Each structure stands twice: as C-alpha cells, then as structure tokens.
Amino acid sequence: MQRPEPLSSCLRFPVTSGVAMVAIVATSGWRLGIADVEPFTINALAFSTQFWRLITSIFFHVNVIHLLFNLCWLWIFGVLVERVFGRPKTLGIILLLAVGSNVAEYALFRGGVGLSGVGYGLFGLLWVLGRWDRRFWGVIDQPTVQLFVGWFFLCIVLTVANLMPVANVAHGSGAVLGVLLGWAIAARSMRQRLPRAGLLAGCLALIVVGGTVARPYVNLAGAAGEDLADQADLVLGQGNPHRAIELYHRAIAANDRKPRWWHNLGVAYVRIDRFEEARQAYQRAAELAPYDTTYRDALQSINNYFRAVEDSRLKSGAVSTEEAANH
C-alpha cells in the first residue's frame, strides 16, 4: 500500500481535510453536550424538507476511537482520490457514498452515525481501480483487504452478539457502491461505461426506494413508523393537526401496535373537532395499553363528552315535545 501523505499537507487536499475537520467539530460538540445530534440524523424528513439529514449523520461518531479509526482511513483513501480526480469529483464521490450508505442503513434498520460507510466505499472504489487503472496500481494491498473484510464480519458478530451495535449495512452498501463506481470509472469506452453507470444508478434508486416507500416492508428493526410518528409529534406541536393526522396514519400503517401513536392521533382529531375518529383512536390506544392511565383517562374523557352531547340532545328533544304538547 502506498505511504499516506503527511498531515502537514492537509491544505493541498481541502475536501478530505474539510470532511475530517467537520467530523471532529461535530463529534466534539455532541460528546461534550454542546450540540444536539438529532437534527442531523436521518429520518423521514430527509426525503421531504430536511435533505441535509441524508448526509450530516456521517460527521458524528460515538466515541474517540470510532472517530480516529474513520478519520485515519478517510485520510489515507481520500487523499489518493483527491490527488487524481481533483476536488469537485472527490466531493461528489464522498457525497454519493454518504447518501447511499446512510439511506441503506436507514432502510433496513434505524440509521447510524459515522464515516464508516464512506470509508468502505472508498476502499471498494480503490480496490477496483487498483486493478484496472494504472493511476491506482498498488494502492490497496492484500493486508488492507484482509483488514477490511475481517473487520466487516467481526462487526456483524459483535452486533448479533449485542456487544457493540454497528451500522453493518452502511459498511456493506458503501463497499458495493464504491465497487460499482470504480467499475464504471475504469470502463475503457463509453459503450462499457453507460451500462455500468446504469447499474450504479439502479442500485442507488433501489436504496432510495427501500428508504422511502418500501421501508415498512423491508425494515428489519420494526422502526419504519418511528420517525414518521416523531415528525407527526413535531408538526402537531407546531399547530398543524391535519398534517399530523396524515403522518400518524402512515406510521400506524407501518406498525399498528404503538398505543402512543394512536393516542396522539386522537389528540390531533380532537383539535379539528372530529370527535368520533378521536374516540376510535383513543379506544385503540387503551386496548393496546389497558393499564396506562393516560390512555384510559383520554378515552373516559371523550366518552364523557359524547354522553354530555347525547344528554343535551335528549333534553332538547324533550323540551320540544313538551312545547308541542302545550300547543
């Protein structure tokens, strides 16, 4: 493997250095309690109004070891790519790998943080280019391949054993995207490049579909509705019950066993005076959590409302009958 550039040359590689610096600042702020990571992690908002979430979670790391490991490989691989392809293309490559690996992890599980997906993507990219492009000959040696493959499977074991949760899908999808990108770049003619680029685009499209409309069907962690419900909570608090109702229904379509979502759906219906729908939602929440006083009290309250309305209607009817009899 080629000897990495000294850190003193960081100004010559502003894209790689910039990504590393943002990661250091973001992680430090998060771990010191200065910054809140939630606005920067991926959820359903990333596909509608808060597109930065598709990328920004890569800058946060759970601890110093996680950060240093990823920054080490970002520097080694990123500098090689930036030296050959230049700044704009390197930025584009990092963004592609960040979005692809981030969305893939979110589609199948809950999403994650860190530059690991980008690191594995750059590894896959250079592994392919090192065999087809003379500018990258020898940049990935056998020990590096063994390290990345071994670490990939070790992380899966650690995750399954519940010893250390790792975004393994981000690792794998990043590597696959890097390989496909490298295969497209290494094409010797446009006739070769177009189908290879099409395969890469198709893979990205499949990942995006998995992270959006197909997530309720492919998510393996039962998390498909959580971010939708969180988004619904937010817009309900902002005074938009109609939008909240839409989001709660989407969340419930993904997982209808969450009493809090049903209860909050009822709250949203109450705010637009749709009391029958609210009662049905409260009823479902109480059925799912029969010992929770919050849900029982909400159901009791709305049942009392309906009884009061019915009593008022009966009294009005009685008065009208009496008046008619007097006449």
pLDDT tens digits, one per residue of 240-281: 999 999 999 989 988 899 999 999 999 999 999 999 999 999
- pLDDT mean across residues, the chain: 91
pLDDT of 319 reads 47
* pLDDT computed for residue 326 by the predictor: 41
> How many Cβ atoms are within 10 Å of 26's Cβ, its own excluded?
21
Domains in the chain (CATH in brackets) are 7-218 (1.20.1540.10), 226-326 (1.25.40.10)
Q: Check: pTM over 0.85? Answer yes or no.
A: no
User: Mean pLDDT across the stretch 51-79?
Assistant: 95
pLDDT of residue 321: 40
Share of the chain above pLDDT 70, in %: 96
Identify the CA nearest to 274 among candidates 314, 305, 235, 311: 305
For residues 156 and 19, the answer to whether their CB atoms sit within 8 Å is no
pLDDT range class, residue 318, cuts 50, 70, 90: low
